[in-house]
Each structure stands twice: as structure tokens, then as C-alpha cells.
Amino acid sequence: MRVILGASGQQLGVMKLSDALREAQNRGLDLVEVAPTANPPVCKIVALGKFRYDISKQEKDKRASGTRLKELKFRVNIDDHDYLTKIRHGEDFLERGNKVRVQLQFRGREMAHQEFGMQLMEKVRNDLSGMSQVEMEPKITGRNITMTLSPLPASRRKRKFPPPPKESEPVESQNGSNVAA
């Protein structure tokens, strides 16, 4: 088996199991097999507690960078401007690699016209189709319709609604008054 000294990464070479165990005991450390399928198998001489801690820390970092679930809430009679604002937010979430749950809430008599809700969900689906794919189809549960969207690969994402231009800082005009640029 190939033996590596964990602290420095220095290779001690290929040696027998008994020699590797003796070397680890002489150093007051443990012999840990890190690549059992390699030919020859690879082992490290490390402190086992620290080794486990480092592995758990790496796994935690991998999980933290994963996708998060963001939510957009709509109502059936949403105004056009409010709708565009929410769609832009949805595009921002998807651009960052987050999943988006789109939830439409009915209140009172709106339940009598659930077809309007389904039409709105289709409109949301079509407007976000350049950035996402439908993970869970629109589903009516009680007074809500819920749909989950997951982001497309970064190379295939295309925004339909560019973010609104940022307000520029005021520029002083020739007569001394402030004017937006």
C-alpha cells in the first residue's frame, strides 16, 4: 500500500501494512485508508479525530453552497407592474441558482374562478421559461396553487425581463442645480 504523511503530504512510498502501522505508531498517529480502490491502496498517517473533522467541514461547505428554495407569492388579481416586479425577482433568484416556489393564493370568492389562477400560473411558467424548468407542475392544494421551478444550467439561462436600470447619482448642472444623469 502507498503511504502518505498527512501533515505534510509527503509520500513515504509503497510499504507493507505492518510497516505502515508501525510507522504510524512511532509517530503517535493513526493509519487511515483514503483510497481503497486505487492500485496500490492509498493510506494516510494522520490524527483520526482531526481527519474526521476536516472531512465533515468539507461536506458542510459543499452543502452550504447548494441551492436554496425561494418563494414568490401571487394573488389572482395582481397588477401588471407588481407582476413584473415579482417576475424580475424570480429571475434574480434563478440566476443565482436557487429554486423558486411560485404560490398563488385565493381569497374569498376568488375560489369560484380557479381557472384564472391556473392561467396566471401558466403565464408565470412561460415568462420564467428562459431561466427555469418546471420541477413540480401547478397543483391546487386548498386555497393555493403551488408550482416549483428549478434553474436551467447557467449556459442556457436567458432573461426575458432585464432588471430596471439603477438610479444614477445626481450630476451638478452648469447653473448649480442637481440633475439626475
Below-70 pLDDT ranges, the chain: 63-67, 167-181
Task: Tell whether pTM > 0.75.
Answer: no
Q: Which CATH class name applies to 69-156?
A: alpha beta
Q: Does domain 2-57 match CATH 3.40.1190.20?
A: no
Burial class, 100, CB count within 10 angstroms (exposed 0-12 / middle 13-18 / buried 19+): buried
* 97-141 residue pLDDT tens: 899 999 999 999 999 999 999 999 999 999 999 999 999 999 999
Domain boundary assignment for the chain: 2-57, 69-156
Do the Cβ atoms of 181 and 166 come closer than 8 Å? no
